[in-house]
Structure 1
Amino acid sequence: MPDTGTPATSLEAHATRRILVLDGAMGTMIQAEKPDEAAYRGSRFAQHNSDVAGNNELLCLTQPDMIRGIHKAFLDAGADILSTNTFSATRISQADYGMEDLVPEMNREAARLAREAAEAVATPDRPRWVAGALGPTNRTASISPDVNDPGFRNVTFDDLAAAYGEAARALIAGGVDLLLVETIFDTLNAKAALYAIEGLRDEGVAVPPIMISGTITDRSGRTLTGQTPEAFWASVSHARPFSVGLNCALGAGEMRPHIRALAGIADARISAYPNAGLPNEMGGYDETPDETAAHLGEWAEAGLVNLVGGCCGTTPEHIRAIAAAVEGKAPRPIPDRAARLRLSGLELFEKGAGAGAGEAA
């Protein structure tokens, strides 16, 4: 039956019926194109006064056909949701290249490119959506960069909120269907992003649904700033996100117990887009599409996920295999919201219905 609702209601309807597929690694695909300094600069920035190679977000302005082509490859492989090429398109991250003033344009153009690619293949029965990506920045509000001065911070909450707000505003203006706060290693950074997004709503901006995705940095089962998945959810659940989940850092095999932990507590959809295994000695990724897809297919069978895709090292071939592995499998039912007190530190503290007084999960 054709979907005739707004993008948000259409998304909700499809997410209720099936597991949605996210795209794969934009960075991996850009690296495969091997752009050099001249390609990054294009003619517009030929005289820029610092090196810009590695500034992937700049390619939205200088090599739009490359970015559009990568989006198309993931769509052709079966992706339902594209992420914009804006992981580092904040004023804080772009300061490394002296390109802070380009942030609004980068985000608008990235959204436009993804929107064009999505609409080129969307049909009434199979719409496609665009998620505006907001990465973690290259600074952390919770940890000192100076081991000799643990109280020092090189960024403030207000700095982060201003940077995220600027980027989110431009992504929304560019036409995204979702905002994706992703690869969260510091929950305080993420809370600054969520605060900024709520501020836009207060200004009357039509804010789309929010996806939140943290990263467990190693086999300790915690974020870089020390939180367990359950505590992370308690920290961000006030945002009432469309989905919460994990991406990056780990391969699917290592990520499963942490996704299971989130699925056991979150009254939101669960997203998972792991790396293609752990990096090898050369920093590459060796897990094959079939291997990654086998993991995610099993998670779907176990009722753990609502949205799946790939992070570092994943290609259109990985997404094609993942899409096939979850096709026809039911999405995880969203549980009722818990009527209990949940507090978050490094671990979850829970009290209320079904939990003993002072019971820690």
Structure 2
Amino acid sequence: MSTLPWLHPERVALLQAALAERILILDGGMGTMLQGHRLDEVGFRGERFEHGHDSAREHHHDGHAHEHPGGCDLKGNNDLLTLTQPAIIRGVHEAYLAAGADLVETNTFNSTRISQADYKLEHLAHELNLEGARLARAACDKFTAQTPGKPRFVIGVLGPTSRTASLSPDVNDPGFRNVTFEELAGNYRESAAGLIDGGADVVMVETIFDTLNAKAALYALSELFRERGTRVPVMISGTITDRSGRTLSGQTAEAFWYSVRHARPLSVGLNCALGAADLRPHIQTLADTAECFVSTHPNAGLPNAFAEYDETPEQMAGVIGGFARDGLLNLVGGCCGTTPAHIAAIAEAVRDYAPRALPGAAREAA
């Protein structure tokens, strides 16, 4: 896929120029911001699902009309708010852009058929990604128009899904799998097509706890690019699930990098699960090893007994400032528990430090 031309070469050139110049700022948590709106079931349903079904009653891209059974609660399906509360989602994007973010992530973490099956909304997968990218695109274009010297970029998010290809969900049947590589790849391809069609500058495979899932996503992207004859940059971000220093499927940060290196990503990094201090040694490993750019967007510390995050913007920025001082970073933002205040503090903390230099001769990121 590295030989294909860029879909938007001028956008890629702007992004690469910005990466060469400074540490770029990612946005922060989406769910954290949405929880502040305290939406109830009615709020999640909006007008479209007010009466328990998809009142749009359109024929979706699979050619069939779909009804939504009224007995299934939709509260908690944050991705659905892209369609039912778009002003809220765009408001979150704009709050992060105002705080200093260079790149914002689409509200599509669970916008695959597999994840939407929990709500019997599989048929919305393509639309969720398409509209999620359009909302982020509109916000970025608004801020770029205000500050033309600081272009803003849309990261189309492919989340990990709720299933794992490497591990059995049944402790009594280690060989059992509840998903296949082909099913994952099909899900990712459909979602990625929506993200790209909606205007995403980059696609990020993120919060990777199972590298085989990620390989399915990377395979799907390569096939989609080959089919279309153009490509967009790809970012890859794994998650170290606890203080063991490994992903859920058992890899260290270094092993994870070597497993995905073949995709020649724009960046590799780590996000979620841990706070910045606990992620430090693993980001150090990637900074020492990876030939591409390095990213991180940690949580605001570890969750407390109430599943809330206590690390203040000042505390988080203080730790991440050390990352930047020591030359570990190219892109940085926040994950669970982070807010625009965290992103503003992080942006200030890294502003005066040079971005991490690519090891050896710089080569084109793919």
TM-score of the two chains, using structure 2 as the length reference = 0.90
Give me the identity figure in percent. 61
Matched, 1:265 2:269: no
* Alpha-carbon distance between aligned partners in 2 of 1:45 and 1:34, rounded to the nearest angstrom: 18
Pick the aligned partner of 2:235 from 203, 211, 233.
211
* Alpha-carbon distance between aligned partners in 1 of 2:80 and 2:320, rounded to the nearest angstrom: 32
2:328 is aligned to 304
Contact kept in structure 2, 1:172 and 1:207, CA below 8 Å: no
Q: CA deviation at 1:202?
A: 1.1
Structure 2 counterpart of 1:62, one-letter code: T
1:85 is aligned to 107
Spell out the pairing of 1:90-105 with structure 2 (5 A cutoff). 90-105=112-127
Q: CA deviation at 1:328?
A: 2.3
Structure 2 counterpart of 1:269, one-letter code: F
1:116 is aligned to 138
* Alpha-carbon distance between aligned partners in 1 of 2:194 and 2:228, rounded to the nearest angstrom: 14
Q: CA deviation at 1:206?
A: 2.8
Spell out the pairing of 1:235-254 with structure 2 (5 A cutoff). 235-254=259-278
Pick the aligned partner of 1:40 from 44, 47, 55.
44
Question: Secondary structure in 1 aligned to 2:195?
Answer: helix
> For 1:108-151, what per-residue CA distance to the aligned partner results, in whole angstroms no more than 9, with x for missing partners?
10100001111111132100000000000000000000000000
* Alpha-carbon distance between aligned partners in 2 of 1:275 and 1:77, rounded to the nearest angstrom: 17
Structure 2 counterpart of 1:314, one-letter code: T
Which segments of 5 or more consecutive residues in structure 1 lack a partner in the other structure? 339-361
Question: Secondary structure in 2 aligned to 1:244?
Answer: strand
Structure 2 counterpart of 1:256, one-letter code: R
1:173 is aligned to 197
> For 1:141-169, what per-residue CA distance to the aligned partner results, in whole angstroms no more than 9, with x for missing partners?
00000000000000000000000000000
Q: CA deviation at 1:205?
A: 4.7
Pick the aligned partner of 1:126 from 117, 136, 150.
150
Matched, 1:6 2:10: yes
TM-score of the two chains, using structure 1 as the length reference = 0.91
> For 1:223-281, what per-residue CA distance to the aligned partner results, in whole angstroms no more than 9, with x for missing partners?
00100000000000001000000000000110000000111110010001100000000
Matched, 1:327 2:338: no
Structure 1 counterpart of 2:93, one-letter code: H
Pick the aligned partner of 2:250 from 221, 226, 229.
226
1:63 is aligned to 85
Structure 1 consecutive aligned stretches of length 4 or more whose deviation exceeds 4 Å: none
Q: CA deviation at 1:336?
A: 2.7
1:287 is aligned to 311
Structure 1 counterpart of 2:193, one-letter code: R
Which segments of 5 or more consecutive residues in structure 2 lack a partner in the other structure? 1-8, 54-68
Question: Secondary structure in 1 aligned to 2:36?
Answer: helix
* Alpha-carbon distance between aligned partners in 1 of 2:141 and 2:22, rounded to the nearest angstrom: 20
RMSD: 1.3
* Alpha-carbon distance between aligned partners in 2 of 1:70 and 1:205, rounded to the nearest angstrom: 34
Question: Secondary structure in 2 aligned to 1:203?
Answer: helix
